[in-house]
Amino acid sequence: MKIFSPTYSVIKRLKEHRRLLYEMAKRDLSDRYAGQILGTIWAVINPILTITVFVILFGVIFRLKAESLEIGTIPQDHTLYMLAGLIPWLVASDVMGRSPMLIVGQAALVKQVVFPLEVLPAKMVLASLPMFVICLSGLFVYTYILYGFIPWSFWGVVPASLIMYIALFGLAYFLSSLGVLLRDTKDLVGVYLFVGLYMAPVFYYMDWVPAVLRKVIYLNPATWFIKCFQDAFFYGFSSGWQPWLIASGLSVLCLLVGCCFFVRFKHQFGNFI
């Protein structure tokens, strides 16, 4: 089918240049911290510090304040619930935040006719994997300390991660292309990343949200991906099939639209840079 042709074209190009993709993904990770004393160690420190701040703020201070005001008791495993949503959000926000300026920032490569442009968004998405794995490892360790074992439902992280990364690949291709054509893309994405974190069920349960506002939260695409991770890490696959089905549909849609948009406009990038 014609709708799948751009996606197939992108995947084919990535397969042909998989060695280049791997090397550029490694370089992307090291270049982000080039010249700094701790170097790539910051790739570990940054997510850990970010998660620690949120855990202290919402998992400790918020709980103690709620109990002191007698407005209710926040479950002890609320921290696990929060981590299950925060980790995929941090990875997604890193990819989405960097995507709009990705092509623009690689003008020299873009103007080389022989260079496979498909590698640029893909290598950035792959470079986010170390941070994702480190954060997940911390979640596993925290769960083992809390319960003394790792629940079987944690295997759900495999399909949840696959769904999320398919969407991220599509978003990277779409946003990096749009960023060339519309320079305001970076600012629009920045606004979404600021608002979207609080418009998704990361720090609060959906039961806490008034019925009127729940519709708004469900309109946030990130909500459905986050609910998949929470279903695996927190609810033990008791949330039903709806989050998984919707997230899978959004994921495939992101990939198809992103690749189609990229293939459609990639030959014009040089004229806009």
Is the pLDDT assigned to residue 96 strictly greater than 50? yes
In sequence order, what are the residues at sequence separation of 6 or more whose Cβ sits closer than 8 angstroms to the Cβ of residue 125?
95, 165, 168, 169, 172
Interval 209-231 mean pLDDT = 93
Mean pLDDT score of the chain, rounded to an integer?
Answer: 86
Whether residue 144 has pLDDT greater than 90? no
Q: How confident is the model at residue 71 (pLDDT cuts 50, 70, 90)?
A: very low
Q: Point out the least confidently predicted range of 37-41, 58-62, 166-170.
A: 37-41
Report pTM.
0.89
Is the model's pLDDT at 89 over the cut of 70? yes
- The percentage of residues in the chain with a pLDDT greater than 70, rounded to a whole number, is 88
Q: How confident is the model at residue 249 (pLDDT cuts 50, 70, 90)?
A: very high
Contacts for 73-82: CB closer than 8 Å, 24+ residues apart: 76/146, 77/146, 77/234, 79/55, 79/142, 80/139, 80/142, 80/143, 80/146, 80/233, 80/234, 81/205, 81/230, 81/233, 81/234, 82/54, 82/55, 82/58, 82/202, 82/203
Distance CA 102, CA 20 (A): 17
For residues 96-118, give the mean pLDDT.
87
Amino acid at 33: Y
For position 70, what pLDDT does the model report? 47
The arithmetic mean of pLDDT across residues 31-53, rounded, is 68
Identity of residue 95: V
Q: Convert the pLDDT of each residue in 227-240 to its tens digit.
A: 999 999 989 888 88
Please say whether the beta carbons of 81 and 132 come within 8 A: no
Give the pLDDT band of residue 142 (cuts 50, 70, 90): confident
In order of 2, 34, 47, 105, 135, the CA distances from 38 in angstroms are 48, 9, 15, 24, 19
Q: Domain residues of the chain, as ranges?
A: 2-272
Query: Is the separation of the CB atoms in 110 and 270 below 8 Å?
Result: yes
Asked if residue 6 has pLDDT above 50, the reply is yes
31 or 15, which is more confident? 15
